[in-house]
């Protein structure tokens, strides 16, 4: 897909990986819908500075109706929904034996059901258009599991199931659906980890550095631009997890 003039909706994109993806698509000439729980005006303005149009839509994507309002807002403003990036996600880490039920439910509701919600609404529009690219943020721990992240790794493994099934169901109408599995990326999500955990994670990365949001954004652009790749997972992790 040539991204110039297309519409890209990116959930959870007021910061971190989502914002880097919004910037990368804007640099390719796509109009951007920034979604988050809070969307500062400056965030929208900083995307417009790339010479594209941008709107901010506050919506909790774990709520089915709010997810619909996000997709509707994109379609109303720009007339199409060409790219959907399911990036919004949370962690609520803890060992299995101590994990609170609410922490399990919240992570599944936002990371997994939120991904279903937006795809459910956006795919209706993409099916009519007979084109579209859906990109889901999974995680390497969705492939490998991780101590203290039972809820998160379950949600991210579920995202891979959604990705492959949506790819099979939507492919006949020219819609691709792929997943990115980042490793250890420098954002607010990983800043909260202890120095000890950070050191341990770094030692497991053959390329010897923490990833940047921009590294992940390059994979999102790659998937959106390629119309003949679907149902795939690309790890963006410096070699942390090799399959
Ligand atoms: P981040 O800095 O925490 O950004 C995530 C954004 O999503 C936040 O702005 C957050 O808002 C928003 N969000 C949370 N719940 C939402 C909801 N229900 N509706 C709309 N927006 C919501 O995280 P990140 O590190 O950039 O991660 C982005 C994605 O990559 C996530 O899916 C994450 O699981 C995945 N990932 C990250 C890493 C990593 O190392 N950073 C590794 C593997 C996978 P609030 O501030 O209100 O929470």
Would you say residue 12 lies in a domain? yes
Query: Nearest to residue 44, comparing CAs of 57, 25, 27?
Result: 57
Q: What percent of the chain has pLDDT over 70?
A: 100
- Catalytic positions, written as ranges: 152
Residue 66 has pLDDT above 90, yes or no: yes
Question: What spacing in Å lies between the alpha carbon of 110 and ligand 1's midpoint?
Answer: 10
Would you say residue 107 lies in a domain? yes
Pocket test for ligand 1, best of 12, 18, 184 (most atoms within 8 A of CB): 12
Pocket test for ligand 1, best of 105, 189, 212 (most atoms within 8 A of CB): 189
Closest residue CA from atom 33 of ligand 1: 89
Q: What is the pLDDT of residues 5-59, one digit of tens each?
A: 999 999 999 999 999 999 999 999 999 999 999 999 999 999 999 999 999 999 9
Closest residue CA from atom 48 of ligand 1: 90
pTM above 0.85, yes or no: yes
Would you say residue 2 lies in a domain? no
Closest residue CA from atom 32 of ligand 1: 89
Pocket test for ligand 1, best of 11, 20, 90, 142 (most atoms within 8 A of CB): 90
Domain count, the chain: 1
Would you say residue 134 lies in a domain? yes
CATH number at residue 103: 3.40.50.720
The first and second tokens of residue 199, run together, are 């050191």
pLDDT, mean of residues 144-149? 96
Would you say residue 228 lies in a domain? yes
Would you say residue 202 lies in a domain? no
Q: How far apart are CA 64 and CA 148, in angstroms?
A: 29
The ligand 1 atom at the shortest distance from the C-alpha of residue 17 is: 26
Buried b (16+ CB within 10 A) or exposed e, 136-164: bbbbbbbbbebebbbbbbbbbbbbbebbb
Question: What spacing in Å lies between the alpha carbon of 172 and ligand 1's midpoint?
Answer: 31
Would you say residue 194 lies in a domain? no
Closest residue CA from atom 44 of ligand 1: 139
- For residue 91, the enclosing domain spans 7-184+213-236
Q: What is the pLDDT of residues 155-201, one digit of tens each?
A: 999 999 999 999 999 999 999 999 999 999 999 999 999 999 999 99
Would you say residue 227 lies in a domain? yes
Is the Cβ–Cβ distance between 95 and 147 less than 8 Å? yes
pLDDT attached to residue 167:
99
- Binding pocket residue ranges, ligand 1, CB within 6 Å: 11-12, 14-18, 35-37, 60-62, 87-90, 110, 114, 137, 139, 182, 184-185, 187-190
Q: How far apart are CA 171 and CA 90, in angstroms?
A: 29
pLDDT attached to residue 133:
99
DSSP per-residue letters across 30-77: -EEEEEESS--HHHHHHHHTTTS-EEEEE--TTSHHHHHHHHHHHHHH
Q: How far apart are CA 168 and CA 145, in angstroms?
A: 25
Is the Cβ–Cβ distance between 229 and 176 less than 8 Å? yes
The first and second tokens of residue 137, run together, are 């943020």
Predicted confidence band at 243 (pLDDT cuts at 50, 70, 90)? confident
């Amino acid at each position: 897909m040539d991204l110039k003039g297309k519409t890209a909706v990116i959930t959870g994109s007021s910061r971190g990986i989502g914002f880097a993806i919004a910037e990368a698509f804007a640099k390719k000439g796509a109009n951007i819908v920034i979604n988050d729980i809070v969307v500062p005006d400056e965030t929208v303005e900083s995307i417009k500075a790339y010479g594209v149009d941008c709107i901010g839509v506050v919506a909790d994507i774990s709520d089915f109706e709010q997810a619909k309002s996000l997709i509707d807002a994109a379609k109303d403003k720009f007339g199409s929904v060409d790219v959907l990036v399911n990036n919004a996600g949370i962690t609520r880490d803890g060992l299995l034996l101590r994990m609170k039920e609410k922490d399990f439910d919240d992570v599944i509701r936002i990371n997994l059901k939120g991904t279903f919600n937006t795809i459910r609404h956006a795919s209706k529009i993409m099916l009519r258009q007979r084109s579209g690219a859906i990109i889901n943020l999974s995680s390497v721990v969705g492939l490998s599991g991780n101590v203290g992240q039972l809820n998160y790794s379950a949600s991210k493994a579920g995202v891979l199931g959604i990705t492959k099934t949506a790819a099979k169901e939507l492919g006949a109408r020219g819609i691709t659906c792929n997943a990115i599995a980042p490793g250890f990326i420098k954002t607010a999500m990983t800043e909260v980890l202890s120095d000890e955990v950070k050191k341990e994670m770094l030692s497991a990365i053959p390329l010897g550095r923490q990833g940047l949001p921009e590294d992940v954004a390059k994979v999102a652009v790659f998937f959106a631009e390629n119309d003949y790749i679907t149902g795939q997972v690309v790890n963006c992790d410096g070699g942390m997890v090799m399959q």
